[in-house]
Structures are given as C-alpha cells and as structure tokens.
Structure 1
C-alpha cells in the first residue's frame, strides 16, 4: 500500500453540451499541474454540464472522452476521474469513470437520479456500489445527488476515500458543504467533493465549494466561492489508521441490507 496519495481537485466552469471545448479546457488545466499527483478529479458531466439532452451528447465506452482520459492518464501518470454521459445497450447512464495510467477503466453508475430535474426520465439508475482499489487505497466513487443518501455511502467495505463529483447549484450549496463533512465524519474516511462553477445552458448558477475533508471532518483543501482553479489534497493512511484504532466508531455501526 502507498502510505500517502495526492488528489488534485479541478473546479471549473463548463461549456454547455460541448465535449470538445471541455476536453480542451481540462487538458490545459491538467497540464498546468506542476507537482506529482496520484488522482485528478473533474466534476459531474464534465464534458457537457448537467443536461438531459443525452441523445445529443452521449458517448460510448469506446468514445473520444475515454480515449482522451486514457491518453492524459498515461501522460501524467495519474488516474483521471469524473462523470460523463454514456450510452450503452439503449440506455443512458450518468457514469463516474476512473481511468488509470495503465489504461484500466473502472466505473460507477449514479444510483440516485435527480428527480427534481427529471433525470430519472432520461437516465437509468445504477444498482451497484463500487470500490476501486488504487495503489492500495480503497476509493468509493459517488455522483452528486448520492450525497443526500447516507445509507448508500455507509462504510461497510472499509474504504478509505469517498469521492463525490457534482453539478450542485448555488441555492443549496450549504447542504453540499454540510453533507460532505458529515460523510467524512460518519464513515471515518477522507471525503472529496468536486463541483463546477459558472452558469449552465438552462441558467442555473453554480458556486463551486469543492473541498476535501479528513476523518474528523476537518477541511484539508477548499476553494473560494466561484473560483476556477486547482487544489491538491494530501491523504495519509496513518491518519485513517490512527483515528479508527483510537475511536473505533465503525465497530458499532448498524447492520442493514439495501434492496
């Protein structure tokens, strides 16, 4: 196991329904990172913004964006992650992708489709929780609205890091801040949240507030509101072990089943 990993959080505006422009933008941002990082996290639907016009912009698992992610992962020697719209067997998914430098691709389909925006009418909800083993770290990927459902994120797999990618609007940003911190505390893990900024194609405003929290809920990386930029969070395995061994809260969790 690697005792320490560095995660780059990229908070950015997105060009509405324009994958090519968004890939260009993120290429420049990723190439501007001067220190070594292990994982780079982009927002939810980072090629399009949070659009329900899936038939217009969806890609396949053999599409341009995954090829681009593979190339950048190889160039930077860092895993590239974030969600995009995937079309597969006649269905659309809001899919979190985790692309390693080796070319290995892991993915998680967003379970909680955002009914307030009618996401469930276009996208198929995922059914499987996913744990990605990368450099000995257990990473649990989640997408936006999943953040409001703590049972789904409950740490029964002994994972080390929760990563949420989002298009979380400004009016409800206090919930985003609060719940990211809560997920870290209750699961005794690091919790990373990467949100977008700017105004999208349907006039919804996003203020960002991306951040990283340690096992005790302390902030270890955060952005100014509306900031377009990159922050790097350093995660230490010894931090997790020290507090889990001392406090042992995860030993007392309730058992449950999810249907």
Structure 2
C-alpha cells in the first residue's frame, strides 16, 4: 500500500490547478491512497465562491474517472441551499464513497463569514478496501473531541491550508495524532508561499516521512505495523 500526500501551490486559474492535480495523480503508483491539500483547486477565493462551486462540479467528474486503482481525497468548495461548504470528497473505484464538510471553520481566515459549517456526525470512520479511514480537515486537528470520533482508524487524512507562522503546530499536532491513535496519518498541506508545507506520511510509531521540496510525498507502508504497535503498546485500540 502506498500512502501519498500531495504538496502543491494553488494559482488563481482553477482549470490550470485541476490539470496539474490530474498530472500528479496519474504519476502516482497504483494501489495508493492520495490526499491533496485543502481546497487545492481554488484556494479561499471569497470573491469567486459561486464560480468555484460551479467548477467543483466539473472537477468531481474528472477526478472520479481517475480513481480506477487509486483512492483520491480532497476538499472542494460546494454549494447547497444557497450556502457554501468546504467539502471533502473521497473517490474509489470511480465512485464517490464519502463526503463530509468542514465543521470547525478557522476564524483568523474569515471562514466563518463565507462558509457554513458541516454536520459533526459526518466525521466518522469509513471502510475502504478493508481499511478504516477517517478525516479531519485542517483546523479540526486542534479539537480533542474530534480526535475521539476518529479513534480506531487505520489511516487518518488531514487536508490543510495551514499557515507558515504555525508550521511547528501543524507538524507537531499531525505527529501526535498518529502517536495517540497508533495509526498512519497522511498530512497534505499547501505549498503556497504563505503556507507551512510540512506534508507528511506519519507511521503509528511516529516516524515522519516528509520533504518540503517535493510535490509528491509517497511512502510504501506495511499496514501490519498498526496491529504491531497496538499490541506492543496496548492502549485499548484494536486492529
């Protein structure tokens, strides 16, 4: 199994962003779980929210087609009942298998003024090809009560647009999430100039594989490591 964190810049050209993302996904090996940064196709384009949500409809169809022998996850700006959401999509076997919208909106980034919060019940562990997968979106990493909702997952995804000034926070919390839950974490952060990068694949034992200079961080992992760590240091999690 290959776990992959993409670490890319987002331009103002939505179509260019999508084409670049597709190129990277095609380069990724088969049998991979691929995570892209938070709203990687549009960024926080508050003056173009309707345009971004319309473009998401186009992007969903194209990304769905690429999910043949790869699992692809990313968040997109979506619209429902005249409200905009930051919504995670997970594609597998060319189907949409899970969605959840960000519930903890970042106040320092004016998200509360432009997005509606999602439903807390949508944060849950789902099963993909026998693996238990869960997602926390960017700022949601900071909330201990949400860690309880993903406890027991084999792999936790975190798509992010985490600022450069809080780089150490992002890397420390991401590693802690893997250690506390004894699971793999895929942390995918933006490579924009004001963002922290720090994208990584983190093992259940806390080993961090990252490279701030790369767009594709890939690690071939042994999923048996989850059960080995949970048996070695038994804190009540089961595999």
For normalisation by structure 1, the TM-score amounts to 0.84
1:20 alignment partner, one of 15, 19, 41: 15
In the aligned structure 1, how far is the partner of 2:151 from the partner of 2:60? 28
Instruction: Say if 1:156 and 1:171 are closer, same or farther in 2 by CA, change over 3 A.
Output: closer
1:122-161 map, 5 Å: 122-126=114-118, 127-128=120-121, 129-154=123-148, 158-161=152-155
Displacement after TM superposition at 1:81 (Å): 0.8
In the aligned structure 1, how far is the partner of 2:44 from the partner of 2:202? 25
SS state at 2:85 partner:
strand
Aligned to 1:121: 113
Do structure 1's residue 185 and structure 2's residue 174 form an aligned pair? no
Q: Deviations over 1:24-82 (max 9, x none)?
A: 1112222223x323211111001111333323411387x101101111113xx111111
SS state at 2:10 partner:
coil
Aligned length: 234
In the aligned structure 2, how far is the partner of 1:245 from the partner of 1:108? 31
2:232 alignment partner, one of 236, 246, 257: 246
Instruction: Say if 1:112 and 1:155 are closer, same or farther in 2 by CA, change over 3 A.
Output: closer
Gaps of 5+ in 1: 200-204, 252-259
Q: Is the 8 A contact 1:164 1:194 kept in 2?
A: yes
Instruction: Say if 1:250 and 1:121 are closer, same or farther in 2 by CA, change over 3 A.
Output: farther
Q: Is the 8 A contact 2:14 2:55 kept in 1?
A: no
Aligned to 1:214: 203
Aligned to 1:163: 157
Do structure 1's residue 108 and structure 2's residue 100 form an aligned pair? yes
In the aligned structure 2, how far is the partner of 1:19 from the partner of 1:60? 8
Q: Is the 8 A contact 1:108 1:130 kept in 2?
A: no
